[in-house]
Homo-oligomer: A and B are copies of this chain.
């Protein structure tokens, strides 16, 4: 049995336009917010995106967008897509393995309960998020699940640095547009 998950065609064109490196953290976060917006505009998934960068050099390793609805797969969140593509590219389940540069996951908002766990297992040594308060859930209606109350400390305990609130207003502008469109909130059992 096979599971096949794909990124939308427009994403390849975006990646082709990405410069050699984004040395600046705000550039990286702005890039994933742009991908989140494009995913909403193209109607190819939810309004979320993520990318894996080499933390120090700023080279882009992979990028992913939310693909839950088109892929019929509730785990196809942007973080899972980006992390899996990076691991495939580097042929390792551990982006923190010996000999690799430090990797950073950049996300357009705080990861949900599932993706928070995915970050821990991925081997990234750095997490950068546009913002993390409840504005996204309130604007969009998405349930992000019960993340652990000490989620920041639990990252630190595993050697994962956190950059929070890098560009919250730019990310929230995407969620406001999502709300204006009345787009599909795909949390399971909405009718239950």
Q: What residues of chain A have their CB less than 8 Å away from a CB belonging to chain B?
A: 1-7, 11-12, 62, 68-69, 71-76, 80-81, 83-85, 87-88, 90-98, 112-118, 120-123, 125, 143, 145-151, 154, 158-159, 186-192
Contact = CB atoms under 8 A, between A and B. Distances in A.
A123 B74 contact: yes
A109 B108 CA distance: 32
A188 B84 contact: no
A92 B76 CA distance: 12
7 contacts: A72-B90, A72-B93, A74-B87, A74-B93, A75-B75, A143-B158, A149-B149
Contacts of A117: 112-117, 145
Nearest to A96: B189
Contacts of A71: 93
Most buried by B among A69, A83, A92, A93: A93
A1 B92 contact: no
A188 B113 contact: no
A68 B97 contact: no
Most buried by B among A5, A143, A188: A188
Q: Nearest 9 pairs between A and B by C-beta?
A: A114-B117, A123-B188, A113-B117, A96-B189, A146-B148, A74-B121, A146-B154, A3-B5, A94-B188
